[in-house]
Amino acid sequence: MAGVGLLSTPYTVKEAGWASLAVPILFAFFCCYTALLMKHCFESKEGISAFPDMGEAAFGKYGHIFVSIILYSELYVSELPSLSRFSTLLGPICRHLSTCRGFQLDSTHLFGILTALIILPTVWLKDLRLISYLSVGGVIATVVLILCLLLIGTTEGIGFHPSGQVLNWSGIPFAIGIYGFCYSGHSVFPNIYHSMADKTKFIRALVVCFFLCVLIYGGAAIMGFLMFCRDTKSQITLNLPQHTVGSKIALWTTVVTPLTKYALLMNPLARSIEELQPARLSNIFWCFILLRTALVVSSLFDAFVIPFFGKPCNAGC
């Protein structure tokens, strides 16, 4: 649940004011409550195992179709920044790699392709328990990133400077959009619930999860904005002094984080498409590989084609 979205949380304080810190708390409350409702739905009737099943139970087959379109579109689109963020962060640093043996390829596209190649083997994993071990790396990376921000703010002469406005209503929609992306992992809760060995611990896991998310997102927002105030950029890593060890650790940690989470979010979409295929095709190993490879390639293509997804923001500043 906690990932690279925290890089933009300091910018929400700049745009919407300190009152915007209430937004992640509200998201945590509603996401936790709806996850509890989801659990009750699964236990209330046999055969309900995913969000589309709940849509069908409530509104019939059209409800199933509508919820499926919304759910899997959200999962697919939420993965596009994972591919573009890698190139956004490393592109400005490695511009000298844009030409290779006379072949012109700007750094944004080069690192986007490299990211897809690195992510691809993780998408081929089908067992969520194996993917969960991979996601542990993302958890560690998130904690390291928070510690790096604290280290840089206290030891590199930057310091923390109380400032900023209390509330800017025009920036609240922006804050809602950022924190909505931060909590987009809510969509994989059905898969996590059904993969748990002891489902009675699901509620406890939810409470701990969202409590930690509020601390992580809130802590990153407060520290990042107090460090750079009105100079805070759209991603806090763009503000960090590049010559320090802490900044370099934070940068590479940020690169690792989306690579560990991509497979977990893409897995429900891949499974839903596999269920639509005839059994004789879905059980073939190469069909399984080709389908998941096609999803990665298509998301890479969309990240390059859709305006602003693949373009560095403030990277040249």
pLDDT digits over 86-135, tens only? 555 555 555 555 444 455 556 667 777 777 788 888 888 776 667 777 77
> If you search the block for the tokens 């969520």, which residue do you land on?
128
Whole-number pLDDT of residue 314? 42
Please check whether residue 295 is in contact with residue 80, taking contact to mean a CB–CB distance below 8 angstroms.
Answer: no
Q: How far apart are CA 193 and CA 176, in angstroms?
A: 27
Which 3 state secondary structure label does DSSP give 229? helix
Instruction: Determine which of 137-146, 170-179, 270-279 has the lowest per-residue pLDDT on average.
Output: 270-279
- Work out the number of other CB atoms within 10 angstroms of the CB of residue 317: 11
Q: Would you identify the CATH topology of the domain 4-305?
A: Amino acid/polyamine transporter I (1.20.1740)
- List the domain boundaries for the chain: 4-305
Whole-number pLDDT of residue 312? 43
Contacts of 58 (CB under 8 A, 6+ apart): none
For the question of whether the overall pTM of this predicted structure is more than 0.85, the answer is no
> If you search the block for the tokens 């931060």, which residue do you land on?
182
pLDDT digits over 4-41, tens only? 788 889 999 999 999 999 999 999 999 999 999 999 99
